[in-house]
Amino acid sequence: MEYKQFKEIKLSHLGMGNMRLPVLNNNNKDIDYHKGQEMIDFCYKQGINYYDTAFIYHEGESEVFLGKALSQYPRESYYIADKFKYSAEPDYRKQFQTQLERLGTDYIDFYLVHGIADNNYNTYMECGCIEYFQQLKREGKIKYLGFSFHGNPGVLKETVKDIEWDFAQIQLNYYDWYYGTAKEQYDILTEKNIPIMVMEPIHGGMLASLCDEANDLLNELNDQNSIASWALRFVKDLDNVCVVLSGMSSFDQVKDNIITFSDETKLTPMELETIEKACHIQQTQIGTTCTACRYCVPHCPKNLEIPYLLKLYNEYKLGGTWRLSRLKGSDDAHTPVNCISCGICTKQCPQSIEVKEYLKQMTHDYLGVK
Ligand code: SF4
Ligand code: SF4
């Protein structure tokens, strides 16, 4: 395992994200403790010491699971990252206390203001939470204070202007580097000497399997490497990236990621060029860039499983309309025709994805082939 120096401590370059843990009965709240524990144990034994969770992951169950899964190891041998989400519980004192209880700890190593974005920047800045967390840091209940970010670069500049942050977490992957604002965000933080923790390095799984043409290009470089490993290598090579979080869902993913982070070889210019080429090919073929973060889901008045539907949209765009046959006999939550085009999801989405347009198109094509 590679390590990066963060102030006075060493952090594993790969961090374990706990937002997409294996679940039972297809129920997001029902974490499979047996499989999850196996993954955490393997991570720990392989030297991963950074474990990321949040108040809202798995509807609150991620924190409970992680606290239990790590409890057999000495508390000082690992670092927990957890996040305050205003919209889930505006009372920041209460939320922090609940988190300590769920995790079964009396301090949190890395604490983040969760998901600062253009539409909540003022709320976070004015609600008093940052001053409170700074106070907790002085008391030792928080060791390092940071934020995760989903907004525009202009808002990022404002966020780092007057506050002393220990670190920041941003969405960074080669797709957002070439097609989004990831590079601009990376430069803003680097200029302010703020170390970066990376989220979505594989873009919610999208960069784990590209279209055939793009996959072939990467496989020609080395067909022993997984497609996902190219995405991880892209971000881990960046100097100011401290921890790369991967929201691992299976033991195989854990093993594959650990292999990637045990090899310090940097990408060659030719490999980088090929990644960029594969990304461009993918971009011309892809449908949506949904990362399955699920921020939109609780707000949909029709309770639609939006990430599932957008994933299916991508599959049908890449694989053909016949894939929509999966919609046959779906329940209400998995039926795009139930969308009423209210647009509420787009307002909640960090990428402002026009979900209703995709669902409209999918409905149209599905009705055409039915
Ligand atoms: S636009 Fe459709 S998917 Fe989005 S919140 Fe409204 S009903 Fe749900
Ligand atoms: S549509 Fe946007 S908010 Fe909803 S799951 Fe996808 S990326 Fe997240």
The mean-pLDDT minimum among 82-91, 125-134, 197-206, 342-351 falls in 197-206
Q: What is the mean pLDDT of residues 304-316?
A: 86
Q: Label residue 238 by pLDDT band (50, 70, 90).
A: very high
Chain centroid offset of residue 248 CA: 10
Atom of ligand 2 at shortest distance to CA of 352?
2
Domain boundaries, the chain: 3-284, 297-369
Structure tokens given for 260: 């990637």
3-284 topology per CATH: TIM Barrel (3.20.20)
Helix (H) or strand (E) holding 332: none
Ligand 2 contacts CB of residue 295 (under 6 A): yes
Residue nearest to atom 5 of ligand 1 (CA): 300
pLDDT at 369 over 60: no
Q: What is the pLDDT of residue 194?
A: 98
pTM for this model (two decimals) = 0.77
Q: What is the pLDDT of residue 318?
A: 60
- State the Cα–Cα distance between residues 173 and 278, nearest whole angstrom: 13
Ligand 1 contacts CB of residue 339 (under 6 A): yes
Ligand 1 contacts CB of residue 344 (under 6 A): yes
pLDDT at 236 over 70: yes
Q: Label residue 227 by pLDDT band (50, 70, 90).
A: very high
Q: Label residue 237 by pLDDT band (50, 70, 90).
A: very high
Burial 193-202 (b: 16+ CB within 10 A, else e): ebbbbbbbbb
Other CB atoms within 10 Å distance of the CB of residue 108: 25
Which single residue is written with the structure tokens 């949190």?
A: 108
Query: What's the CA-to-centroid distance between 304 and ligand 1, angstroms?
Result: 7
Mean pLDDT (the chain) is 91
